[in-house]
Amino acid sequence: MSEPLRIQPNLEFVQELQAIGGQDLKKCYQCATCSVVCPLSPMDRSFPRKEMVWAQWGLKDRLVNDIDMWLCHKCGQCSEQCPRGAKPGELMSALRNMAYRNLMGPKFIGEWMSSIKHLPKLIAIPAIIYLLVWFVTGSLQGTPFPLEHGKIEFGLIFPGDYTIDPVFVLVFFFAVYTFIRGIGKLYQGFDTQPKTFVLGYHPPENIWVSLYQVLKEEVVTHKKWKDCGEEEPEDTKFKGHLVLFYSFIALAVVTGIVAFTHWGGKVLPFLHMPYPMALWNPVKILANIGAIGLFVGLIYLTKRRVAPSEKDESSYYDWYLIVLIWVVAVTGMLSQIFRIAEVAGLAYSVYYLHLVSVFMLIAYTPWSKLGHLVYRIAALTYARRHGRLSTEIETDKNKVYVI
């Protein structure tokens, strides 16, 4: 028989979880309805029942290293069916929120990202940087809203090569570096938890194959999420997320092409592309499709978040991300419109806001809800590799035995 698990009830941790979205977790009386109705929960050590009791006891070690929080897509069926109103789905998202906050340092960012009261500080960082830039370039140009040949040229105030690209590349790599360390820490945590031995399941031979399968079978299709619920609100959420997801990819591709041609053009002149791009340029078209997709996805998701829901409550993390993307999209679109319309004052101001919001989106990603893009994929990859199977995974079911 195995050694008894040493447990340490942790009142502070319970209270922390309650504060971050799991207010009702203490109501759970362990009937396991949640695990039964969950369409994704594995057969063995199913979630979210066990997370509920761990949370009630404040078993921090178990919870922060729990891989299952990433297997949950929060369809909310558990919360809806819960006879005590304990809202297990909210706990699962609270756990994820806690991961965004605590998994990686610097600690202050995690803390600032967790509450609206710290928001001004987060805004202030890029706002001050670009205000300074604006002040300097504006002084050099003699006006805060300069024109070149009668046209608005954002580069006059915010020269890309000196003030945008270096800063954004820096914060981008800062985010990437943080994510890589984050994944390492995540995996270390998973390693400490008991494993499932599954007979009749052949795991991918290495982690990269596993990642490939995750991307192909789950991420690209959003298949798991689709399984999660087919009722109206979930469907809206699913569609919204899918559109938003592909829009992001489109815009990432555009950004990549632009950066590549720009900086590549400095070395190999034939790569150079003229700016601003013409509206018929395929890259420009992709960019605009991406932007429209962004709006469509945002509208879907916002509509659902605004509607009161028992199944899925919205936390600060949810609103932070959605509002930020709105700001990025709206300011991006408006700065283009004002530029074409030649309203200099507005165009520069909105473009400034656009830079601030994009900075926030990139730099704070590992501590925001957007972090799930990396952490969830990493966790799913790990899960697939170690046979932590949700009931829906394609296997020869007759031969699967869980030990």
Partner 1 sequence: MAEKIGVYFDTQKIGPLLDCEPLAEKVRNKWAKACPVVKIEDNLSGEAGRQLIQADIDSGDIDSVCICGSSPRADWDIFDFGSHVLVERVNLREQCIWPFRNPDGSLPQKAEEADKLLAENALDCINMSISKLQKTNLPQPEDLEIVKRILVLGGGWTGCNAALSLARAGYEVLLVEKEQELGGYAGKLYKTFPKKSPFLRAEDAGIADLLEMIGKQDSITVYTATSLVELAGQPGQYTATLKNGSGQQEIQVGSMVLATGWEPLDTKYLEPLGYGKSKNVITSMQLEEMAKNGEIRCPESGKPPKNVAFILGFSELLDGIAREEEEARQRAEEEKAAAQQEQSDEEPSIEEPFEKTESYRHMYFTNELTCLNTLKQANYIREFLPESVAVILYEHMTATGIQELYYKEAQNDPGIMLSKGEVTAVETAPGGKLVVKAKDTLLGSDISLETDLVVVPTGLVPTTALDPVIQLAYRQGPAFPDLALFDGFADSNYICFPYETRRTGIYAAGSVRQPMSLAKSAADAQGAALKAIQCLESADRGVAVHPRSGDLSYPLFNFVRCTQCKRCTEECPFGALDDDEKGTPKPNTARCRRCGTCMGACPERVIAFDNYSVGQIGSMITQIKVPDDMAAEGPRILILACENDAYPALDMAAQRGWKWSPYVRIIPVRCLGSVNTIWIADAMGKGNDGCLLLGCKYGDDYQCHFIKGSELCDRRMKNIGETLDRLGVELERVRQEEVAIDDYDKIPGIIDGFVDEIMKLGPNPFKGF
52/291 with CB nearer partner 1: 52
Peptide bond into 106 cis (omega under 30): yes
Nearest distance from residue 89's CB to partner 1, in Å?
Answer: 19
Using alpha carbons only, how large is the chain's radius of gyration in Å? 23
Query: Which residues lie closer than 8 Å to 55 by C-beta, 6 or more apart?
Result: 14, 17, 22, 25, 63, 91, 95
Of residues 278-337, which lie at the interface with partner 1 (CB under 8 A)?
none
Nearest distance from residue 37's CB to partner 1, in Å?
Answer: 19
Residue identified by tokens 């203490």 is 26
Q: Is 85 in the site for partner 1 (CB under 8 A)?
A: no
The CA angle 24-377-17, to the nearest 5 degrees, is: 20
Q: How far is it, in rounded angstroms, from Cα 191 to Cα 171?
A: 30
Q: How far is it, in rounded angstroms, from Cα 275 to Cα 262?
A: 10
Peptide bond into 308 cis (omega under 30): no
Query: Which residues lie closer than 8 Å to 145 by C-beta, 6 or more apart?
Result: 152, 157, 344, 345, 347, 348
Per CB under 8 A, the segment of 8-16, 127-135, 291-299, 378-386 that binds partner 1 is: 8-16
Tokens of 365: 């990603």
7/140 with CB nearer partner 1: 7
Q: Is 88 in the site for partner 1 (CB under 8 A)?
A: no
Q: Is 4 in the site for partner 1 (CB under 8 A)?
A: yes
Q: Is 177 in the site for partner 1 (CB under 8 A)?
A: no
Number of residues that bind partner 1 (CB under 8 A): 27
Nearest distance from residue 83's CB to partner 1, in Å?
Answer: 12
Nearest distance from residue 78's CB to partner 1, in Å?
Answer: 17
10/314 with CB nearer partner 1: 10
Q: Is 15 in the site for partner 1 (CB under 8 A)?
A: yes
2/398 with CB nearer partner 1: 2
Nearest distance from residue 290's CB to partner 1, in Å?
Answer: 45
Q: Is 403 in the site for partner 1 (CB under 8 A)?
A: no
Amino acid symbol at 191: D
Strands 401-402 and 147-148: unpaired
98/356 with CB nearer partner 1: 98
78/347 with CB nearer partner 1: 78
Q: Is 1 in the site for partner 1 (CB under 8 A)?
A: yes
**Single residue of 11, 267, 279, 306 touching partner 1 by CB under 8 A:** 11
12/396 with CB nearer partner 1: 12
Q: Is 96 in the site for partner 1 (CB under 8 A)?
A: no
Q: Is 124 in the site for partner 1 (CB under 8 A)?
A: no
Q: How far is it, in rounded angstroms, from Cα 227 to Cα 230?
A: 7
Of residues 231-260, which lie at the interface with partner 1 (CB under 8 A)?
none
Nearest distance from residue 175's CB to partner 1, in Å?
Answer: 34
Of residues 18-77, which lie at the interface with partner 1 (CB under 8 A)?
18, 26-27, 29-30, 45, 50, 53-54, 56-59
Nearest distance from residue 361's CB to partner 1, in Å?
Answer: 35
CA 153 distance to own-chain centroid:
32
Please check whether residue 34 is in contact with residue 81, taking contact to mean a CB–CB distance below 8 angstroms. yes
| Other C-beta atoms lying within 10 Å of the C-beta of residue 15 | 12
Per CB under 8 A, the segment of 13-21, 114-122, 292-300, 380-388 that binds partner 1 is: 13-21
12/205 with CB nearer partner 1: 12
Selection from 45, 57, 69 nearest residue 11 by Cα: 57
Q: Is 339 in the site for partner 1 (CB under 8 A)?
A: no
How is residue 3 annotated by DSSP?
P
Residue identified by tokens 């959420």 is 237
Query: Which residues lie closer than 8 Å to 388 by C-beta, 6 or more apart?
Result: 42, 67, 68, 71, 196, 382
Nearest distance from residue 134's CB to partner 1, in Å?
Answer: 48
Please check whether residue 258 is in contact with residue 283, taking contact to mean a CB–CB distance below 8 angstroms. yes
Nearest distance from residue 14's CB to partner 1, in Å?
Answer: 4
CA pseudo-torsion sign 383, 389, 390, 392: positive
Peptide bond into 274 cis (omega under 30): no
Residues that bind partner 1 (CB under 8 A): 1-11, 14-15, 18, 26-27, 29-30, 45, 50, 53-54, 56-59, 84
